[in-house]
Amino acid sequence: MNTHTELIHTLSPEETAAIEAQIAHLPDRQSAAIEALQIVQQARGWVSDESLKATARLLDMSPAALDSIATFYNLIFRQPVGRHVVMVCDSVSCYVMGGEALAGAVKTHLGIDMGETTADDRFTLLPIVCLGACDRAPLMMIDDQLVSGPELADLTNVFERFA
């Protein structure tokens, strides 16, 4: 039985095609694991158990083996996240420059703690390691946008940009 046919109804044709395209220039199917997880997360916001199983089947590996990769990376979400992911840097430069205060302000503003999602499913708040923008410390990243400096003075304005 072709193991690749069953999953059509769990991974979309677009996801499958995108993953196959990655596999095409790699030595074996498993080598596309990280790309495949990113593709699935891109499409669904996070990687559910069912999505992970389907992806593992497509890659010809056990769900456990794929999960060991997925759970190693903190940017592969194995639990549902809100529409926007807010990541506040807690590494050294940001810490020195007031990262804790920033994190506190964001928590108060959103009314949630680290690792939580707002009731309207709009924001998930997470800590993150150095964003590689220490010159702008302290800062946070919302989805793929860096937010720092004077902007941080008006969090209402910042979060309004993300519906």
Partner 1 sequence: MTTINIDGSDYEVAAGENLLKAALSHHQDLPYFCWHPSLGSVGACRQCAVVQYQNPEDTRGRLVMACMTPVVDGMRVSVKAPNAVGFRAGVIEWLMENHPHDCPVCEEGGECHLQDMTVMTGHTSRRYRGQKRTFENQYLGPFLNHEMNRCITCYRCVRYYRDYAGGTDLQALGSRDRMYFGRFEDGVLDNIFAGNLVEVCPTGVFTDKPFSRTYTRKWDLQSAPSVCQGCSAGCNIFASERYGKLKRVHNRYHKDINGYFLCDRGRFGSSFVNSDLRLRQAGVRIEADLFQQVSIEAATQHLRDLADSGDVVGIGSPRASLEDNFALMSLVGEANFSCGMNDVEAAMMDQIFDLYAKTPDAVATITALERADVTLVFGDDPMNAAPRVALAIRQAARNVHFDMAVQAGVPTWQDAGVRGHAQHALSPLYIATPLPTGLDDVARQTSHAAPADLAVLGLQIADQIASPPSDDAEGFVANIARDLLAAQHPTCVCGTASAEPAVMQAFAAIITALIKAGRKPQMLCTSAEVNSFGVRRFAGLSLQGALDRMQQGSNAMVLQNDLYRREIPAMVSAALAGAGRVLVLDSFETATANAADIVLPVTTYAEHTGTVVNCEGRAQRAYQVFEAEGQDIQPAWRWLSDFEHIDDVLHACAALPAFEGLEAVSPEAGYRTATNSRVPRATHRFSGRTAATAHVSVHEPKTSVDTDTPFSFSMEGENTGQAGALIPYVWSPGWNSNQSLFKFQQEVGGSLTGGEPGVRLGFAPSKSSADGSASSRTKPATGEVNLIPHPQTFGSDELSSLVGAIVERCAPPTLWLNPDDARALGLSSRDGATWPDAKTTYLVQLSDQVTPGNALASVGVGTGQSVLPRDAVTLIKDSAFTPPPDLIARG
> Which residues are near partner 1 by CB under 8 A?
28, 49, 52-53, 61-65, 67-68, 71-74
38 lines the binding site for ligand FES (CB under 6 A)? no
125 lines the binding site for ligand FES (CB under 6 A)? no
Q: Smallest gap, in angstroms, from Cβ of residue 61 to partner 1?
A: 7
CA dist., res. 19 & res. 37, Å (int): 9
How many CA atoms are closer than 13 Å to the CA of 130, on its beta-carbon side? 8
CA dist., res. 23 & res. 68, Å (int): 19
3-state secondary structure labels for all residues of 111-129? CCCCCCECCCCCEEEEEEC
Q: Which is nearer to partner 1, 17 or 65 (CB)?
A: 65
Q: Smallest gap, in angstroms, from Cβ of residue 87 to ligand FES?
A: 10
CA dist., res. 37 & res. 71, Å (int): 11
Nearest CA to 137 out of 92, 107, 104, 87 is that of 92
Q: Where are the extended beta strands (E) located within 38-136? A: 84-89, 123-128
87 lines the binding site for ligand FES (CB under 6 A)? no
**Residue 63 contact partner, candidates partner 1, ligand FES, none, CB within 5 to 8 A by sort of partner:** partner 1
Q: Smallest gap, in angstroms, from Cβ of residue 29 to partner 1?
A: 11
Q: Which is nearer to ligand FES, 82 or 99 (CB)?
A: 99
Interface contacts to ligand FES, rule CB under 6 A: 89, 91-94, 130-131, 133-134, 137, 139
